[in-house]
Structure 1
Amino acid sequence: MRASSGIAVRPGGDADLRSLFTDDARLLRFARLAAAFLAPVTLVLAFAACGFGPDPRHNWLGDVVGSDLSQVWVAGARALAGRAAESYELAVHLANLAAAFGPECRFAWHYPPVFLIPAAGLAALSPQVAILAWMTLSLAVFTAATFVATGRRDAVLIALAHPLVFCNLTYGQNGLITAGLLTLGATLVDRRPWLAGLCFGLVAYKPQLAAFAPVVLLLTGRREALAACLGTALALCLASVALFGLDPWRSFLTTLSETDRLLLRDAAAGLDINFSAFGTMRLVGGGMSAAWAFQAGVTGATFALAWRVWSRCADTHLRAATLLACVPMASLYLPIYDLAPLIPATILLAIAAHRAGGLRGYERGLMILAPLTAAFRPLVNETGIPFGFLFAAATLLCVAARALPAMPPRKVSTVAHPA
């Protein structure tokens, strides 16, 4: 290390730990070493502990195999049996879950019928094979998207070591696929607009996260990508009708008010699970009106930021990071696994910072503290502090602080007046 740094190099010493907050090269080396250990451990634990078990319904941890994916498998099985609309009837869906995985498996089905397409594909497999296939697909999409966005193998390794990856794999959730598709769309939008739009449109299974990108495409005049996005979403809707009929759509639309009651008004899953602006206001004791107002303000700010950056910023990494950081903040419902787009957002921010001369102090702090996301929900339970929202907001503010000054000043036309 340079003598001018004033830090004596002692392996394992306090000075080395402090240097992580001041030296980018040392922080990167530490991240690579940690990721080289954590990434394979994460994958082995996720696949071995959560993908298999002593019986077909439970993994080695004693949980329902596939966890959240169990209800996807059941919904897909009912769709294959010609009863796709059953999953939107809560009592019937819970009975189907109990029959397949036991009475402790209780989830409400809120996905639009387009998600029945992959669900039916998974239901054609046994539950254990389905969860292994889903984890493999999630990793493939997320890994490919991270590499396309960064072009760096070490970035992929560091991304895979993030605790949100382990969270999504063990929950059997779709956050990694969502993050991967959004990353590909945000990265390819100017080079391959049709492909970018396709990726954005494929997120239609998660409307609360899918709605952000097409609005930004519309506001910034990216017509090809917008057309591909809307066309893809429409094709998915029509495919679901062709495969399963109109009944699932009627049931889905009918149950939207019940979804609002369960997830937002009653917070049936717990106030500690929703890291959105809406959920944060409810967590700290605010009423419904205050929660809606806070969410509206945050969502409006994210659209304004994304529009400004995507209209004028030339740095593709910062543009992509802005969209990836905005999408979670704009969502009404944000469980921990849907924070996954923040992983590529922070990595793209770090790459942009490196090209611009180095990380700022608060950016480096964000990179160091990001692994604490694994403890967010227990910390929220114990303290009542909305750590998930604060992390998402901090990421967005760091990206905004880097992206907004990177925009060229507007050209001001001048008119010469005769003397």
Structure 2
Amino acid sequence: MPAAHKKNEQKSAAAATPAVQWLTPLCVRLYCGALFLIECYLFLYWFWAYHVARDPAVSILGWDFAVYWSASSLAMTHGAPAAYDWGLLKAAEASLLPAGSFGPFAYPPSFLLLIYPIAMLPVGMAFLTFLICGVVLYLAVTRWTSGPVRAWWLLPALGFPGLWVAMAAGQNSLFTLAVAGSTLMLLRRHPIAAGAGIALLCMKPQLGALFPLLLLCEKRWAAIASAAASSLLYITATWLAFGTETFMASARSITLFRHEFAENSIQVLSGAPTVFAVARTAGCSVQVSYLVHAIVAVAAVALCAWLWITRSRFGLSASAFIAASLLFQPYLLYYDLAWLALPISWLSVDFARRGYTTSDIALLIITWLAPLQSFLAVPYPAMGQWTPAVLLLMLAAIWHRHRLELSSRM
């Protein structure tokens, strides 16, 4: 029976796989390689113009990293709570960011603990070190997740716009991507290690909000215990290092940030690929925007719960987790879309094994390009944010593939 089932599965996969002659592995390498060369040129020129030539007409590359570096400097010289003092932080950033610009440090103390020593290096050297570490982790995880399509994973991974958007902003997205991807890869075979990975997402806890639901739906009791113990250990270490005052200062800063930036700054929200931001920039009130966002988020989470309870195969389950995690957040920015590298990789594996249609390939292409579109919506806000629709299409495709699998089991 298993052999017959496998034979039927192979036949259905072959039947679902059209001859997409224009998108051969060679073509994929050529398209991704061409974009990679363009991205390299633009990034290196930008880095050289600001950090080497000191061109005053060029704004800083890695503007969010400048916030990290300034927060680290304040924490080392004035104590950890100073990183959340907007007056001190604005003065510290004055020599790095363009005149009139300010980036608050809207992160919990658990992230401050990780970046605490970076101001020991000059900002340019610290930024370069930060980039190298992030890219190495990103490439290691994308290679790990690429499975049977590993033979041609490198150029698509290097050309992926989400990588370059995260690098340009100097964001921690490549690190959180590596943690989330590793955790999901380890979950079914090494739950204790996966639980420790979940704890590391305390550096940006909103991105790990759906992990408890995933663990409960799949009854991963060992991972739950490991995640709880590791998170407690991480938070305790942060508290011992920085004290209660830092946590209180962080709470005040994050509350102020939410009101000033995340809810009411249309300029900031133009770069936020969320349902809340789309509604807010369209003119809806904060309350109505949250309501619309909640409706979409609940639907996405409910779909994921069904996938996890019915034990969908790994590629579908993990891809749905990433899509729903991004849809669940009312506030995230274009650089967080680096996470899309994970479902692109897992779905590519699933398509290679189970077959695909032309619409499946189209989904991968628009997902791969989504971070670029989201980034371009900042200078061109009339373009709008398309990513929420892309994520919903991804969940719909995953639901369809899993429903077909459930039908074949009967």
Q: How does 1:112-127 map to 2 (within 5 A)?
A: 112-127=108-123
| Aligned partners of 2:201 and 2:207 also within 8 Å | yes
The Cα RMSD (Å) is 2.8
Range 56-65 or range 132-141, more displaced: 56-65
Question: Are 2:85 and 1:89 equivalent residues in the alignment?
Answer: yes
Question: Are 2:366 and 1:364 equivalent residues in the alignment?
Answer: no
Which of 134, 157, 178 aligns to 2:176? It is 178
| Aligned partners of 1:188 and 1:196 also within 8 Å | yes
Range 360-369 or range 101-110, more displaced: 101-110
* Count, aligned residues: 390
User: 1:306 is matched by which residue type in structure 2?
Assistant: C
Q: How does 1:9-408 map to 2 (within 5 A)?
A: 23=20, 26-39=23-36, 42-43=39-40, 45-46=42-43, 48-53=44-49, 55=51, 62-99=58-95, 103-151=99-147, 152-267=150-265, 269-357=267-355, 359-373=356-370, 374-379=372-377, 381-383=380-382, 385-407=384-406
Shift of 1:60: 9.5
Shift of 1:100: 5.4
Q: Note closer, same or farther for the CA distance 1:398–1:28 as it changes in structure 2 (3 Å cut).
A: farther
String of CA shifts for 1:54-107, please: whole Å, max 9, x gaps. 657958982224321001011111112242112222222111211555635520
Bigger share in helix: 2
User: 1:271 is matched by which residue type in structure 2?
Assistant: L
Shift of 1:37: 4.0
Q: Note closer, same or farther for the CA distance 1:62–1:29 as it changes in structure 2 (3 Å cut).
A: same
- Residue in 2 aligned with 1:13? none
Range 386-395 or range 344-353, more displaced: 386-395
| Aligned partners of 1:97 and 1:103 also within 8 Å | no
| Aligned partners of 2:312 and 2:402 also within 8 Å | no
Corresponding residue SS for 2:399:
helix
Shift of 1:22: 5.5
User: 2:282 is matched by which residue type in structure 1?
Assistant: V
| Aligned partners of 1:279 and 1:332 also within 8 Å | yes
Structure 2, unpaired ranges of 5+: 1-17
String of CA shifts for 1:384-408, please: whole Å, max 9, x gaps. 5332322233233323332343346
Which structure has more relative contact order (CA 8 Å, sep 6+)? It is 2
Give the Cα separation in 2 of the matches to 1:127 and 1:309. 45
Identical columns (%): 22
Shift of 1:40: 5.6
Give the Cα separation in 2 of the matches to 1:70 and 1:270. 17
String of CA shifts for 1:310-358, please: whole Å, max 9, x gaps. 222342112211111111011111211111221220221122122112x
Give the Cα separation in 1 of the matches to 2:254 and 2:409. 44
Structure 1, unpaired ranges of 5+: 1-20, 412-419
Range 199-208 or range 385-394, more displaced: 385-394
User: 1:79 is matched by which residue type in structure 2?
Assistant: A
| Aligned partners of 1:317 and 1:352 also within 8 Å | yes
Give the Cα separation in 1 of the matches to 2:373 and 2:203. 28
Shift of 1:253: 1.7
Corresponding residue SS for 2:365:
helix
- Residue in 2 aligned with 1:14? none
- Residue in 2 aligned with 1:5? none
Corresponding residue SS for 1:270:
helix
Shift of 1:362: 2.0
Give the Cα separation in 2 of the matches to 1:35 and 1:59. 31
